[in-house]
Chains A and B, each alone.
Chain A
Amino acid sequence: SQQGEEDPQALSIQEGENATMNCSYKTSINNLQWYRQNSGRGLVHLILIRSNEREKHSGRLRVTLDTSKKSSSLLITASRAADTASYFCATVYPGGSYIPTFGRGTSLIVHP
């Protein structure tokens, strides 16, 4: 399977702390995306980083990509209770397919 793998599977922090989750993959990618899923809802796209990029920011989100290690990290700064959700990385591989392959996700709980 070309599925990315998120780590940790679960993360519990206090409001105001930073949350870091990681994604590792096995073969070269075209781009990597992060999605959020609130309980009982569909996934929501957060950010896309291309293989030639190393870092991207969006509000309180910071994504890094290390293609030499085949890994990416999602950092959420100053977490809020509303950030409680599952976070998925999705990898898009070169070779004609545009369809992202989703990992199993990291469950984040932010305690108020």
Chain B
Amino acid sequence: DAGITQSPRHKVTETGTPVTLRCHQTENHRYMYWYRQDPGHGLRLIHYSYGVKDTDKGEVSDGYSVSRSKTEDFLLTLESATSSQTSVYFCAISGGENYNEQFFGPGTRLTVL
């Protein structure tokens, strides 16, 4: 398995609180992504990064921000969590020769009450 970890794996929080999810990779891949997965929607891209300090918005970026200060870490922050952000969040990485192929982390289940 590609070396990707996500923390925390589960989190319950209350509406209005800030939340930060962490993705850590040991593959030295250039690209990192945050997705959310919801029933009926499949995976939707939130933000992605194409290098240290280089990030861009995805399809559903409202209410989320990201940061990447090191190659190995990509943080997703919900500045003020809402119930609509209850979801399973996946981090993915890609790079190297087969840069189209993505490797996924185990996911973080976030519940916003």
Contact = CB atoms under 8 A, between A and B. Distances in A.
Contacts of A90: 102
Contacts, number: 52
B102 A100 contact: yes
Interface in A38-79: 40-45, 48
A88 interface: yes
Given A99-B48, A103-B42, A104-B40, A44 B33 contact: no
Interface string B93-104: 010001111111
A43 B58 CA distance: 19
B113 interface: no
Interface residues of A, number: 23
A3 B60 CA distance: 14
A33 interface: yes
Nearest to B44: A102
A33 B104 CA distance: 14
A23 B44 CA distance: 17
A44 B35 CA distance: 14
Contact of A45 (B48, B99, B103): B103
Contacts of A3: 42
A105 B90 CA distance: 16
Contact of B104 (A30, A43, A92): A43
A43 B31 contact: no
Nearest to A102: B43
A99 B45 contact: yes
A105 B45 CA distance: 15
Interface of B: 4, 31, 33, 35, 40-45, 48, 58, 90, 92, 94, 98-107
Across the A-B interface, the 8 shortest Cβ-Cβ residue pairs: A42-B104, A104-B42, A102-B43, A43-B104, A45-B101, A102-B42, A42-B106, A42-B105
Interface of A: 3, 30-31, 33, 35, 40-45, 48, 88, 90, 92, 98-105
